[in-house]
Structure 1
Amino acid sequence: MNLKSSSTHNATISIQRLFKIRLSAMTPRDMQEDHRVATPLELLFDLVSVIAIAAAAVGLHHALAEAHYLQGIVQYCAAFFAIWWAWMNYTWFASAYDNDDTLFRLLTIVIMAGALTMSAGIPDFFASMDLGLIVIGYVIMRLAMVVMWLRASINDAARRKTTLSYAIGITVVQLYWVGLYLAHFSSFGLFFGGFGLGIILELLVPALTERHGTTPWHRHHIIERYGLLNIIVLGETLLAGSLALNQLNSSEFTMAFIQLAISSLVIVFSLWWLYFSREEQLKHKQLKMALIWGYGHLIIYLAGAAVGASFALLVDIMAGHTSTPLWVGHYAVAIPIAIYLVGLWFVRDRYVLSASAKSVLPVFALFILLIPLAMDLPGIAILLICCVYLRSHLVCKTTIPGEH
C-alpha cells in the first residue's frame, strides 16, 4: 500500500514538473550588453516571417502576370505592411525585454501562429479581396504583443507609462482593423483608403508612445535583426533565378534563361553589397533617427521582395506563360531596384557619407530607370556593379584613414 502511494506521489510530482511554467521578471535588457546577437527563437520567428513574405511576393508576381498592375501593387504593399509591422514590433520589443522564459516563448509561438494564418490568407486577398484570414492572423499577433507589453509594465516601473501606452494603443488599433473588415467595403478605393488610415494609426503608436520614455532597445542587436530580414528578402530574387534554371529541361528553354539567372545573381549580390557596407546603420539612438531608420526600412524590404517577384514574372514571359510584354518585365525589375537604392540612401547614406559619395545611390537609381529603354537585364546588372565600385571608391577616398 505504501509502495502504491509512493508511486502515485512520484507520478504527480513528475506531471507537475512536466507542466511547470518557468516565469521570470520581464525587466529591461542592458542597452550596452556586449556580444548581443539574435537568439535561436528570433531566427525561428524570421523563418515563419519569410513564408508570409514569399506569399506576398507570389501574389504580386501573379497580379503582374495578369496585368492587374495597380491593384496588384496596392495589395502587395498592404499585405507586406502587415507582415513587416508585426515582425518589426516583435523585434524591437524583444531587443528591449526578451527574458527568454517559458511564457515569452509561448507568446512568441502564438505570434508565429498568427503569421502563418496571415500567410494562408494572402492568396485569397489577392484573388478576391478577402481579408478574413489576414485580419485574424494579424490580430492574433498583435494581441499577443499586448500581453507582452503588459508583462513589461509590471517589472519596468520607470517606463510603465510607455509600456501601458503601447498595450492600449495596439488594442485600440486592432479594434479598428476588425471594424474595417466587418464594414465590407465594396469599393476598391474606399477599402484601401480605410486601410491607409489604419497604417497611419499603427505608425503613430510607437511614434507617440516612445515620447513618454524610450524603451531600452539594443542598437547593435536591432541593426543585426534588420540585416537578417534583408537577407531573407533578397533571397526571393535568388529563388526566381533558380526558376529560370529550372527551364533547362523545358521545351521553351533558350539561352535567355541562363542570362536571366546570371543577372539575378549579380543583381542580388550587388544589392547585398550595397546594404552591408562598412558604414554603420542607425548612427545614434535618438527617437527621430530611430523612427526614420526603423520605418524607412519598409521601402527597402518592399522593393527587395518585389525584385524577386519581378524576376519570376520575367521567367513566365520568356516561357510564354503570360502575354505581358517583355519591356514591362524589365521595368518591373528596374523600378524596385531603383526604389531599393533610394530607400538605402534615405535611411543611411545621407547621414553617414560626405561629399559626392552621398549622391551615388540616387543618381544610379535614376540611371537604372532609364536602362530598360535601351538595354535589358545585363545592362541593369552592369550598372549596379558600377554603382558598387563607384560608391566604394568615393567612400574610401573621403574617409579619414583608420575610420570606418
Structure 2
Amino acid sequence: MTEPFQVLRPMRARSRDEDHRAATPLELFFDLCFVVAVAQAGKQLAHAVAEGHVGHGVYGYFMAFFAIWWAWMNFTWFASAYDCDDVPYRITTLVQIAGVLVLAAGVPRLFDQQDLTLAVVGYLLMRLAMVTQWLRAARSETGGARTMALRYAAGITVVQLGWVAVLFVPEGAARTAVVLLCILAELAVPALAEAKVQSSWHPRHIAERYGLFTIIVLGETVAAATVAMQTALDEHEALDELLPIAGGGLLICFGAWWIYFAEPIHQHLRSNRQAFLWGYGHYLVLGSAAAVGAGLEVAIEHAVGQAHLSATAATAAVTVPAALYLLTVWALHSRHVKQGAAQAVLPVSAAAVLACTALGGAGVLAAGLAVAATVAVGTALATRG
C-alpha cells in the first residue's frame, strides 16, 4: 500500500527487498520532460548529417546525449535508493526538470555555433540539484552510508567546476580534451563513492525505469520520423519513395521494442559491478535508439532530394545506429539469458542490418525486414527451447 503523502519526512534508504516497487508519477513526468531534450539532440543530428557534416553532427550528439543521459541516470539510481516523496524531494526534482529544459534550449547552439553556455547552465542546474539530494541523504544516514552520500556530493561538485572551466577553453582540441576529462570524471564518481558501501537501489525498479525510458525514446523516434514523413509528403508527394522508408522504420522500431523486452533482466542486477556496467551500457542503447529516428529523417530528406549526401550514406544513418542497438542489447541483455543458437541471433542480425547499407535507397526497408526476421527467429528458438 502506498504511504500517505507527507510534507517532510526523513530521507532514509529504501530496502532492496521492498515489494511492489514501481515507477512513481513523478518519475514518469521526469522521463517525459527529458525526452524533450532527446528530441532536440536527434533533430540537430539529423540536420547536420543531411547537410553532409557527419563528424560535426556525431560529436555534438555525443556531447548533448551524454549530458541528458547522465543526469537522467543519476536521478534514477538515487530515486531507487532514497525516494521519500516529500515536498523538498519533489521541488528538487522539478528543478532538475527545469535544468533539462534549459539544456534542450541550448542544444541547437551547441550544434550550430559550438556555444556550450546554455547547455552547461542547464546541466549545472540538474547536477547541483543532485548534490542537494545527496547532502540531504547524508544528513539522515550514519556510518559508511553517510560517507558514501558525502562522497557523491563532493565528487559531483568538483566535476561541475570542470564543466564551468570548459566554457573558458577555446574551441578546438584543448576543449575536446577537457570535455572528455570531465566525462571520465563523471563516470568515476559512482564507483568511488560506492567503493565500500553500496546504495540500496532496487533491481526490479531499476530495470523497470530503464525499460520505460527506452520505450519513451523509441516512441520519440517514431514521432520524429512521422513528422518528417508528413512534411515530405506535404511538400513533395513522393509516396513511392517514402513508403518503403516508413515501413522499414516502423519494423525497426517495433523490433527494437520486442527485442529489448524479450527477457526480464532484473535478476542479473545483483551487485554494483553488474548493475553499473549494465546501466552505463545503456548510453549506447538509448543513444542508438534515438539516433535511428534521426537517421530516418535523413533517409526521408534524401528520398525527396533535400539531403546533401549519397543514398548509401543516407541509409547508413539508419542502419549503423540500428545495428549498434542490436549489438548492445545482446551484450547487456541477451547474452546473460540466451543459450545455444539463440546467443548468435542478435550479433548475426546486427551484421545483416549493416550489410543492408549497400542496398542504398532500398536499404531501410531491407533492414526493417532483417529486424523482423530477427524477432521471428528469436521467438521460434525461445518456443522450441
What TM-score results when the alignment is normalised by the length of structure 1? 0.90
Aligned residues: 376
Which of these residues, 259, 264, 282, is aligned with residue 274 of structure 1? Answer: 259
Q: Tell me, yes or no, if structure 1 residue 311 matches structure 2 residue 296.
A: yes
- Please tell me whether the aligned partners of residues 282 and 348 of structure 1 are also in contact (alpha carbons under 8 angstroms): no
Cα distance, 1:71 vs. partner? 1.5
**What's 1:241 paired with?**
225
**What's 2:105 paired with?**
120
State percent identity of aligned pairs: 41
**What's 2:384 paired with?**
397
- Please tell me whether the aligned partners of residues 263 and 337 of structure 2 are also in contact (alpha carbons under 8 angstroms): no
Write the letter of the residue equivalent to 1:326: A
Question: Residue 67 of structure 1: SS of its match in structure 2?
Answer: coil
- Please tell me whether the aligned partners of residues 223 and 282 of structure 1 are also in contact (alpha carbons under 8 angstroms): no
Question: Residue 55 of structure 2: SS of its match in structure 1?
Answer: helix
Structure 2 distance, partners of 1:91, 1:209, is: 16
- Please tell me whether the aligned partners of residues 361 and 387 of structure 1 are also in contact (alpha carbons under 8 angstroms): yes
Change beyond 3 A, Cα 1:301–1:282: farther
Please give the per-residue CA displacement for 1:82-113, whole angstroms capped at 9, x wherever unaligned.
00000000011011001011000110111111
Cα distance, 1:369 vs. partner? 0.8
Q: Tell me, yes or no, if structure 1 residue 201 matches structure 2 residue 188.
A: no
Structure 2 distance, partners of 1:214, 1:323, is: 50
Structure 1 distance, partners of 2:225, 2:287, is: 19
Cα distance, 1:392 vs. partner? 2.1
Please give the per-residue CA displacement for 1:284-333, whole angstroms capped at 9, x wherever unaligned.
32111011111001110110000000101112112222222222111110
**What's 1:62 paired with?**
47
**What's 1:168 paired with?**
154
Question: Residue 35 of structure 2: SS of its match in structure 1?
Answer: helix
- Please tell me whether the aligned partners of residues 244 and 258 of structure 1 are also in contact (alpha carbons under 8 angstroms): no
- Please tell me whether the aligned partners of residues 324 and 350 of structure 2 are also in contact (alpha carbons under 8 angstroms): yes
Question: Residue 190 of structure 1: SS of its match in structure 2?
Answer: helix
**What's 1:255 paired with?**
240
Aligned 1:2-401 pairs, distance under 5 A: 22-158=7-143, 159-183=145-169, 185-187=170-172, 189-242=173-226, 243-281=228-266, 283-374=268-359, 375-398=362-385
Cα distance, 1:281 vs. partner? 4.5
- Please tell me whether the aligned partners of residues 48 and 57 of structure 2 are also in contact (alpha carbons under 8 angstroms): yes
- Please tell me whether the aligned partners of residues 135 and 178 of structure 1 are also in contact (alpha carbons under 8 angstroms): yes
Structure 1 distance, partners of 2:209, 2:183, is: 22
- Please tell me whether the aligned partners of residues 161 and 212 of structure 1 are also in contact (alpha carbons under 8 angstroms): no
Structure 1 distance, partners of 2:177, 2:322, is: 27
Change beyond 3 A, Cα 1:387–1:133: same
Change beyond 3 A, Cα 1:66–1:251: closer
Structure 1 distance, partners of 2:112, 2:67, is: 18
Please give the per-residue CA displacement for 1:52-106, whole angstroms capped at 9, x wherever unaligned.
0001001101110111111210110111000000000001101100101100011
Structure 1 distance, partners of 2:127, 2:269, is: 28
Cα distance, 1:252 vs. partner? 4.1
Please give the per-residue CA displacement for 1:366-403, whole angstroms capped at 9, x wherever unaligned.
111111213422211111111111122223333xxxxx
Please give the per-residue CA displacement for 1:206-247, whole angstroms capped at 9, x wherever unaligned.
012111211011111111110111011112321233131443
Please give the per-residue CA displacement for 1:91-147, whole angstroms capped at 9, x wherever unaligned.
110110010110001101111111111001000000010000111111111111100
- Please tell me whether the aligned partners of residues 310 and 332 of structure 1 are also in contact (alpha carbons under 8 angstroms): yes
Structure 1 distance, partners of 2:186, 2:233, is: 46
Question: Residue 36 of structure 1: SS of its match in structure 2?
Answer: coil
**Structure 2: where are the runs of 5+ without partners?**
1-5
- Please tell me whether the aligned partners of residues 65 and 287 of structure 2 are also in contact (alpha carbons under 8 angstroms): yes
Between the two structures, name the one with larger relative contact order (CA 8 Å, sep ≥ 6).
Answer: 2
- Please tell me whether the aligned partners of residues 117 and 167 of structure 2 are also in contact (alpha carbons under 8 angstroms): yes
Moved over 6 A (4+): none
Structure 1 distance, partners of 2:234, 2:66, is: 37
Please give the per-residue CA displacement for 1:128-176, whole angstroms capped at 9, x wherever unaligned.
1000011111111111110000110111214011111000000010011
Question: Residue 308 of structure 2: SS of its match in structure 1?
Answer: coil
Write the letter of the residue equivalent to 1:378: L
Structure 2 distance, partners of 1:333, 1:227, is: 22
Write the letter of the residue equivalent to 1:71: H
Moved more, 368-377 or 95-104: 368-377
Moved more, 30-39 or 280-289: 280-289
Question: Residue 211 of structure 1: SS of its match in structure 2?
Answer: coil
Please give the per-residue CA displacement for 1:327-386, whole angstroms capped at 9, x wherever unaligned.
211111000000001110111122222222112111111111111213422211111111
Task: Please give the root-mean-square deviation of Cα atoms over the aligned residues, in Å.
Answer: 1.5
